[in-house]
Amino acid sequence: MNLKIKKALVSVSDKENILSLLKVFKKYNIEIISSGGTYKFIKKLGYNCTEISKYTGFKEMLDGRVKTLHPKIHAGILHDRQNKTHKDEMAKNRFPSLDLIVVNFYPFQKIVQKDKSPKNIIENIDIGGPTLVRAAAKNFKNVAIITNKGDYSNLIDELKRHNGKTTLKFRETLSSKAFGLTAYYDSMIANWFNTKLNIQFPERKTIFGRKYKRLRYGENPHQESSIYVSDYDDKQLGFIQLHGKELSYNNYNDMFAALDVLGSLKKKSGTVIIKHANPCGVSENMNQLNSFKNAYASDPLSAFGGVIACNYKVSRKIAVEIGKNFHEVILGKGFDKESLKILKMKKNLRIIDISDYNSSNLVTTKVFDNSFLIQNKNDKILNKGIKCVTKLKPTKRELSEIKFALNISKFVKSNAIVLSNNFATIGIGAGQPSRIDSCKIAVEKAKTFQPEKIKNAIAASDAFFPFTDGIKILIKAGVKIIVQPGGSIRDQEIINFANKAKIKMLFTGIRHFNH
């Protein structure tokens, strides 16, 4: 059903591009009603407009908090044009129909980013705008609702195509967008209150997101995919792509896994190599080139086609090393001119600058068909309960490297075994149903690529060893320190075996499952 637009209410906080609408409204003799700043803006541009207070006969009050909240406005939006009772009531009250609502909200999300004053933030929670939007969206059969300046051109095309009218399909599509916006807006407000009040797990949880980009496909070519931003600054992801093909679903997945690990490396130059969301090489070193080489040496076979992330500026020397092999994505805290020149020689290599990236999300979420799980991020490595349970005790330096290996185990899919030597992984066993299989894989990786470093290596396990079979494999390979949570009913048997083998073992009392 095509409906002629005769009267439009325009009330916008963001007045950009409003002139394009006014020109078309004039062409089709559409009467404009407006409020406050929007009214003044339209009049200044030289267009006819009726102020809300004059239209309703009721002056704005409470510093503008009450202006569009009036029966004449909402009856004009909500009445059913085909309902005789509605038509009679409207005629009795001399309330005309409103056919188009153009609204955008107070800039709540911008204020949250710039202003820490709760008073100012709360003052920028829009009431009248969302109320208008919901009313118009509900009655899409009779009313068109525009909530995004990006839709101005669509409205203009619609009016031109149908000689000042809108189609039902067009109005229903706008309605869908409108309810999406009000839900998004309310969700941001609810999450702001939850953060302010430190409510991590509210009774009703909403997750807001704005589509950043449609991706070519998902994990596999037959799956569709898009990436969304869930942040008050919802126009960017916090990093910049400098070169290469568009990022894929799998690229993003691996990049965020890399950024998680990288964010945990604080003291030295850190390099992380990710493949299928699992670390296959991680290193910390005072020397950036050594950091890169040590991480790559952990598992150069798996690193092929992977994602490399560096918490330092990528230099020419490191770019040369990167260029020796195929990689999907390189992330760095800046790139010097020479490194960019070298890396850009690979046309498809995605180069990402993460200089301004900061992770602010303190929870992780897993979504299923009609439910989702939320938990705090695993931001602990050790706790006060750590103790050496063997006769041989670790040195201060060994304790630092134990912490490094255990930290990496947090990010490896369970069951996880991480072998490290000199603050670099040398073998990682990931994602196995059996811990003994993870031990075998970690040892096999180390034997294949850096057999000389297994001797005196450290092994970190994300959970306890239920039997001695796993530690037998590690000790036989040359591991001299094992760190694990402890808690097995066979702990004493395992401790006795470790003492007999003359290795050092520590119990942390904290598990690091990552499923």
CB 170 within 8 A of CB 7: no
Looking at every residue in the chain, the average pLDDT score rounds to: 92
CATH entry 3.30.1490.100 includes domain 387-507: no
Give 452's DSSP letter. Answer: G
Lowest mean pLDDT among 4-18, 87-101, 115-129, 500-514: 115-129
Q: Do domains 3-196 and 387-507 have the same CATH topology?
A: no
138 included as an active-site residue: yes
User: Which of these, 237, 241, 238, 279, lies nearest to 258 by C-alpha position?
Assistant: 279
Out of 276, 317, 333, 346, the active site residue is: 276
Angle CA 318–243–211, to nearest 5: 125
CATH fold of 3-196 reads Rossmann fold (3.40.50)
Q: Using DSSP bridges, classify how beta strands 458-461 and 417-420 pair: parallel, antiparallel or unpaired.
A: antiparallel
β strands within 232-328, DSSP E: 240-243, 269-275, 278-285, 307-310
CATH fold of 239-353 reads Cytidine Deaminase; domain 2 (3.40.140)
pLDDT band at 106 (very low <50, low <70, confident <90, very high): confident
pLDDT band at 397 (very low <50, low <70, confident <90, very high): very high
**Cα–Cα distance for residue pair 251/117, rounded to 1 Å:** 38
Q: In the chain, where are the structural domains located?
A: 3-196, 239-353, 387-507
Out of 15, 87, 138, 205, the active site residue is: 138
Q: What is the pLDDT of residues 150-169, one digit of tens each?
A: 899 999 999 999 999 999 99
Write down how long the chain is. Answer: 515
Say if pTM beats, i.e. exceeds, 0.85: yes
Residue 101 neighbours by CB under 8 Å, 6+ apart: 8, 9, 77, 132, 133, 135, 136, 143, 144, 145, 146
User: Which of these, 355, 354, 323, 348, lies nearest to 338 by C-alpha position?
Assistant: 323
